[in-house]
Amino acid sequence: MTPVSRDPHRSAGDIFADAIDLPASERSQFLDRACGDDRALRNEVDSLLAAHQSAGEFMNAPAIDTDLPMAGIEPEDLSGTHAGAYRLVKILGTGGMSTVYLGERADAEFEKQVAVKLIKRGMDTDHILSRFRNERQVLAGLEHQNIARLLDGGVTADGRPYLIMEYIDGIPVDQFCGRNELAIGDRLRLFRTVCTAVQYAHRNLVVHRDLKPSNILVTRSGKVKLLDFGISKVLQPESAEALGMTATGFRLMTPRYASPEQVRGEPVTTATDVYSLGVILYELLTGQPPYRIKTTVPTEVERVIGQTEPPRPSTVISQGTTVPGRNLARRLAGDIDNIVLKALRKEPDRRYESADQFSEDVRRHLDGLPVMARPDTVGYRTAKFVQRNRVPVAATGIVFLSLVAATILSTSLYFRSERALAEAEVQRTTAGRVSGFLEEMMVAVDPVEMQSGEAVTVERILQEASKRIDDELGEEPAVAAALHHTMARTFRNLGAFDEAKKHGLAELALQDELYGPRSIEAAGGMLMMGGIFLEQGENERAESLFQEVRNISESTGNGEDEITANTYRALGKTRSAQGDYEEAKKLCRRAIEIRRALPGDHREELAGDLNQLGLSLVQSGKHEESVAALREALDLMTATRGKNHTFIGQINNNIGWALGKRGDWSEAAGYLREAIVRQENIFAPDHPNVLVAHGNLAQALFNAGQLEEAEIIYEEVIVGFRSRFGDRHANVGHALNNYATMLENGKEVFADAADLYRQALSIYREQLGNEHPYCAIANHNLARTLHKAGRLSDAEKECRSALAVRRAVLRDGHPDIARDLDLMGTILMDQGDPAAARGFYEEAVAILRNELPEGNERIVDTEARLAFCLAKIGH
Amino acid sequence: MADPSDLTQVLKDASGGSRTAADRLLPLVYDELRRLAQSRMAEERSDHTLQATALVHEAYLKLIDMDRVEWQNRAHFFALAAKAIRRILIDHARAKNRAKRGGGERNLSLDEALTIPAEGLDMNIVALHEALERFAEEEPIRAQVVELRFFGGLSGEEIAEVLGVDRRTVTRYWQHARAWLYRELQDDAGE
């Protein structure tokens, strides 16, 4: 039955919508016409109309207004509760990360008012606490009449960290100047007092990092007090340091007072405070901020602060200024313009060297003496900054520390599995035959024996040996297997993974022949092979081998023997490599549990387990626990081997690493110095272990901001490696690469850094072949530096080369490949080609999502860049 | 290699239900909203009323550089973001419901469900989401209007631009969808 009178294309929804536009009186007639005799249609429209009538405000407010899942964002007022011995009286103020309360001693023995800074929920509590423990000695030691004392800190009953500080009843310095209509001279004198306090803190190695008027109070009696010294370092999430320009990092400072290096996420030094002092003085004198930052878009903030020049103070005197007197502009023009702008220079090393020097120049001006500040030249500014517009990419360096860490583990692990094998009768004779064979090999390549006069290298010996194992030891498969094992390990340590694998596979084939497929005797070889796979980033293959060993050991033993423990540790290392640190920790703990229950003395192996656990703990950010595990490892090794074993030095080294990761590079440096002492007791001063330890120390000192000493040590290390190994050894490459990292990130001398990266790259290529992970690392670093230096097309070329190498060497989807992809995307973005950048970002995101746990910072970062890229496409 | 029409396609796929693009965006949108809300709370102690819709707009602004992006891409970005917010809200409500069930409670309290003043109808957002899925089977475009407006917090004009229809059509679609959903949820509640 087709209704004749209605348009068959009109739906109930359309008729309904038409109907509600009509006055009620006309509706019925309209509906009769529109629906004709289609009862179903008419019923539907009527039903919609009825719903419309009674729907009220249904859905009119967006869901997000009613249902925003932001539980906990309401600032709760905890007045009346306690923090330690203090009762919270009232809220004094609140910031992004904390709420400050007025507090009173709860025991009321003596009345004392304090300020209690209570950290908000959602912050990384563990990290803040460990930071605080780190810093408290230093901060509590700051005793200066113009600095508010840090009195104490702790955790509330419900687990929130708090800091107790001297309570200052005052108003921010800018308000103080305004209310009292201070003249220029008075403002400058007040400012000098601020400088004195800052200088005092700097001498005590504390950088404020967040200087702003609201942190500088003036009491009713006119006394200046600086608040929150060093607090922002305590509150800084660990990740923010490495990440640079992320939203996470951004929240930690006040953009208005932030220096170019801060918005770029680069290391913060005393020069950073000098810069903030410059902003404060600018505002005190003009009533204006130097930059008009109207946006919160990080790249834009970075652009404004990092690239634009602030107007001279004398040119921005506004109607609303609180500075009294006439001819203000004339008063500021010249010296004061120059002084303020010197403090505001983009490059930290072109600002005043210290708050003292800044203050001194102000004094000279006040005394009518010539000041040291000179106007900046336009040429300098443009030359240096014209091309600065980059998204920072996390730095990659070949870090000595982790290399050493890896070596400890593997030596100890294989040592044990070999010893397990040694229990078999056949091994006794095998051992003798193995060393005999190796001795022959040495003789074969002895220059005296050789006629050609070719240089003898370890590689040559090994190659020669490789050829001869099969030819000469066909009758002695057990000896051949043991030799293949040794060869595999040696090649692996040389970074020649393909060669290593060949021998590893040969060993396994022989074991199968001797003992049947997948025997317990093959376990050592399988663990070794797995280790090689791990080195190449083939984590899944490694894992499946380790799992197989676990199955074998569980089926042949009770599942709680030594091989099982070794396997758990190897699996732990695998998980760690896969980024699953939680599981890694569990596996290591299982290894430790088994090991502790074993009869006999296994302290040395236990130390190895604890060492791996410690490394996994560092990776998962549990620095305290990590240090504890590593210290236990240290104690065990000391007990079994005495103080002068090389492993002792290495554990010290790892403790240094853990402390460094925790952000305490100074304490780390202490352990690394200890590591050096241990190594030097055993080895000659130019022994690689000693040199490596020095390299690590230089790295730590660099991170601790002690660039001068770091630089000296780096230079020594490079000289040492060169004289020990020759100019072209891979270790020289490592030293050059790491030194370049410091020049790049610490001193920002990109041309020198690029030069060193190139040298390192050329060494790696020559020594390790074009397709080695180290080539890719040096190549990537070179690309990143060139990018920073604004040499975009060179950067692109190098980055493509790094990417090609990594694609060739690493398994598909290795997270390191994403580093190159990410940098490529960024370079292309800066070249104004977001369409080309997009593919790289997308692949990077796909890889990272696949490889890293959800929410990992690298994923979030790269995704953010992809989002910007997508948004810019079509522009 | 990639040209803008590819992007448009990706974004369209996403609007059409592909989870990958929305997946990519979701953490960004969510983090941005949280961050904005938090900084807002910190700045404006005197006025605790959060205008969440305003926050969403600010989040959009922060995530994309509005001045430099063509409308076509911006529109699809909005669509994607609305989808992401929808998922945030639904996931959140489901998680809360699960937690509630675990706790033996059945009633949803105000902060997790939308309370509809008219007719005393209680509706939770998960039921709404499911009803909207059913509606989308018949009327995909109109369902998208709901997504953009109700979840994405977009204005009628913005929706008109996203969908490439006129402003009046958006209003008509919205009214239809709203009545349909209201009836659907009432029926649910009656069952």
User: Among A455-469, A672-686, A725-739, whose mean pLDDT is lowest?
Assistant: A455-469
Taking the C-alpha atoms of residue A815 and residue A844, their distance in angstroms, rounded to an integer, is 8
At B60-111, the pLDDT tens digits run 655 554 444 455 556 666 776 777 677 766 766 666 555 544 433 222 222 2
Output the CA–CA distances (angstroms, integers) from residue A334 to A283, A331, A365, A482, in the order listed.
17, 8, 10, 80
pLDDT for A389: 23
pLDDT for A798: 95
Taking the C-alpha atoms of residue A484 and residue A466, their distance in angstroms, rounded to an integer, is 8
Residues A521 and A588 in one domain: yes
**Buried b or exposed e, range A41-57, using 16+ CB within 10 angstroms:** bbebbebbbebbeebee
Any B CB within 8 A of A240 CB: no
Residues A135 and A33 in one domain: no
First to last CA, chain A: 55
Residues from chain B that touch A302, judged by Cβ atoms under 8 A, are: none
Residue of B129 and B2 predicted with greater confidence: B129
pLDDT for B175: 92
| Averaged pLDDT, A10-20 | 88
| Averaged pLDDT, B141-149 | 92
Any B CB within 8 A of A845 CB: yes
Output the CA–CA distances (angstroms, integers) from residue A856 to A91, A579, A580, A657, A851, in the order listed.
35, 10, 11, 21, 10
Q: What is the mean pLDDT of chain B?
A: 63
Q: Are A513 and A501 in contact (CB under 8 A)?
A: no
Residue A588 domain flag: yes
Residue A121 domain flag: yes
Is residue A536 over pLDDT 60?
A: yes
pLDDT for A821: 95
B35–A64: do the CB atoms touch at under 8 Å? no
Percent of chain B with pLDDT over 70: 38
At A704-723, the pLDDT tens digits run 778 888 888 888 888 887 87
Q: Angle A159-A165-A168 (CA atoms, 0-180°, nearest 5)?
A: 140
Q: Are A177 and A284 in contact (CB under 8 A)?
A: yes
Q: pLDDT-based confidence at A126, cuts 50/70/90?
A: low
pLDDT for A388: 26
Q: How many CA atoms lie within 13 A of A131 on its CB side?
A: 21
Residues A160 and A177 in one domain: no
Taking the C-alpha atoms of residue A208 and residue A325, their distance in angstroms, rounded to an integer, is 33
Q: pLDDT-based confidence at A146, cuts 50/70/90?
A: very high
Residues A450 and A570 in one domain: yes
At A259-270, the pLDDT tens digits run 888 877 777 788
Task: Tell which of A330, A361, A385 closes a domain.
Answer: A385
pLDDT for B82: 77
The winner for highest mean pLDDT among A300-314, A817-831, B3-17 is A817-831
- The beta-strand segments (E) located in A704-775 are none
Is residue A380 over pLDDT 60?
A: no
Residues from chain B that touch A73, judged by Cβ atoms under 8 A, are: 34, 37-38, 41, 50
Radius of gyration for chain A, computed over Cα atoms and rounded to the nearest angstrom: 34
Q: pLDDT-based confidence at A758, cuts 50/70/90?
A: very high
Q: pLDDT-based confidence at A782, cuts 50/70/90?
A: very high
Radius of gyration for chain B, computed over Cα atoms and rounded to the nearest angstrom: 18
Is residue A873 over pLDDT 90?
A: no
Residues from chain A that touch B153, judged by Cβ atoms under 8 A, are: 62, 64-65
The predicted complex's ipTM stands at 0.73
The CATH number for A309's domain is 1.10.510.10
Any B CB within 8 A of A333 CB: no
B112–A49: do the CB atoms touch at under 8 Å? no
Any B CB within 8 A of A52 CB: yes
Taking the C-alpha atoms of residue A206 and residue A139, their distance in angstroms, rounded to an integer, is 8
Q: What is the mean pLDDT of chain A?
A: 76
A875–B70: do the CB atoms touch at under 8 Å? yes
pLDDT for A705: 79
Task: Name, in order, each residue with C-beta under 8 angstroms of B133's C-beta and a sequence gap of 6 or more.
Answer: B143
Sign of dihedral through CA atoms A150, A156, A161, A162? negative
Residues from chain A that touch B176, judged by Cβ atoms under 8 A, are: 13-14, 16-17, 48
What is the distance in angstroms between the Cα of B51 and the nearest Cα belonging to chain A? 7
pLDDT for A404: 28
SS3 state at B2: coil
B118–A845: do the CB atoms touch at under 8 Å? no
What one-letter code names the amino acid at A686?
A: D
Residue of A205 and A725 predicted with greater confidence: A205
Query: Phi and psi at residue A167, in whole multiples of 5°?
Result: -90, 125
Residues A452 and A332 in one domain: no
Taking the C-alpha atoms of residue A254 and residue A801, their distance in angstroms, rounded to an integer, is 39
Is residue A136 over pLDDT 50?
A: yes
Burial of A505 from C-beta contacts in 10 A (0-12 / 13-18 / 19+): middle
Taking the C-alpha atoms of residue A818 and residue B111, their distance in angstroms, rounded to an integer, is 41
Is residue B146 over pLDDT 90?
A: yes
Residues from chain A that touch B65, judged by Cβ atoms under 8 A, are: 297, 299-300, 868, 871-872
Cα A496 from chain centroid? 29
A55–B172: do the CB atoms touch at under 8 Å? no
User: Among A196-200, A398-402, A421-425, A518-522, whose mean pLDDT is lowest?
Assistant: A398-402
Between helix A458-472 and helix A477-494 the angle, nearest 10°, is: 160
Instruction: At A813, list the tokens.
Output: 């989807």
Q: Angle A276-A260-A700 (CA atoms, 0-180°, nearest 5)?
A: 95
pLDDT for A118: 83
Residue A872 domain flag: no
Residue A414 domain flag: yes
What one-letter code names the amino acid at A183?
A: A
Cα B19 from chain centroid? 15
Instruction: At B7, list the tokens.
Output: 């992007």
What is the distance in angstroms between the Cα of B164 and the nearest Cα belonging to chain A? 18
Is residue A101 over pLDDT 70?
A: yes
Percent of chain A with pLDDT over 70: 76
pLDDT for B119: 27
Residue A36 domain flag: yes
Any B CB within 8 A of A50 CB: yes
pLDDT for A735: 83
Residue A676 domain flag: no
At A555-574, the pLDDT tens digits run 777 777 888 898 999 999 88
Taking the C-alpha atoms of residue A237 and residue A240, their distance in angstroms, rounded to an integer, is 5
- A interface mutation test: which of B41, B122, B168 has the most A CBs within 10 A? B41
What is the distance in angstroms between the Cα of B131 and the nearest Cα belonging to chain A? 13
Query: Number of folded domains in chain A?
Result: 4
What is the distance in angstroms between the Cα of A95 and the nearest Cα belonging to chain B? 5
What is the span of the domain harbouring residue A178?
A: 170-385
Residue of A681 and A40 predicted with greater confidence: A40
Is residue A660 over pLDDT 90?
A: no
Q: How many CB atoms lie within 10 A of CB B17?
A: 11
Cα A79 from chain centroid? 37
pLDDT for A804: 93
Between helix A497-515 and helix A523-535 the angle, nearest 10°, is: 160
What is the distance in angstroms between the Cα of A381 and the nearest Cα belonging to chain B? 27
Q: Are A133 and A159 in contact (CB under 8 A)?
A: no
Burial of A370 from C-beta contacts in 10 A (0-12 / 13-18 / 19+): exposed
SS3 state at A165: strand
- B interface mutation test: which of A15, A67, A252 has the most B CBs within 10 A? A67
Residues A59 and A190 in one domain: no
Residue A533 domain flag: yes
Q: Are B129 and B90 in contact (CB under 8 A)?
A: yes
Is residue A221 over pLDDT 90?
A: no
Using a CB cutoff of 8 Å and minimum separation of 24, what contacts does A845-849 make? A845/A818, A845/B24, A847/A813, A847/A814, A847/A815, A847/A817, A847/A818, A847/A821, A848/A815, A848/A818
Instruction: Name which of A63, A247, A866 is nearest B31 (Cβ-Cβ).
Output: A247
Task: Tell which of A151, A166, A181 closes a domain.
Answer: A166
Taking the C-alpha atoms of residue B97 and residue A429, their distance in angstroms, rounded to an integer, is 69
Residue A75 domain flag: no
Identify the CA nearest to A86 among candidates A65, A107, A71. Answer: A107
pLDDT for A247: 30
Q: How many CB pairs under 8 A join A and B?
A: 191
Is residue A669 over pLDDT 90?
A: no
Taking the C-alpha atoms of residue B8 and residue B14, their distance in angstroms, rounded to an integer, is 10
The winner for highest mean pLDDT among A514-518, A756-760, A765-769, A846-850 is A756-760
Task: Tell which of A166, A188, A213 closes a domain.
Answer: A166
Residues A379 and A400 in one domain: no
Q: Are A499 and A490 in contact (CB under 8 A)?
A: no
Residues from chain B that touch A296, judged by Cβ atoms under 8 A, are: 62
Residues A499 and A427 in one domain: yes
In which order are the strands placed within the sheet that holds A113-119? A82-83, A86-94, A98-105, A113-119, A161-166, A150-155
- DSSP output for A354-396: SHHHHHHHHHHHHTTPPPS--PPPHHHHHHHHTT---------
The winner for highest mean pLDDT among A205-209, A518-522, A804-808 is A804-808
Residues A107 and A135 in one domain: yes
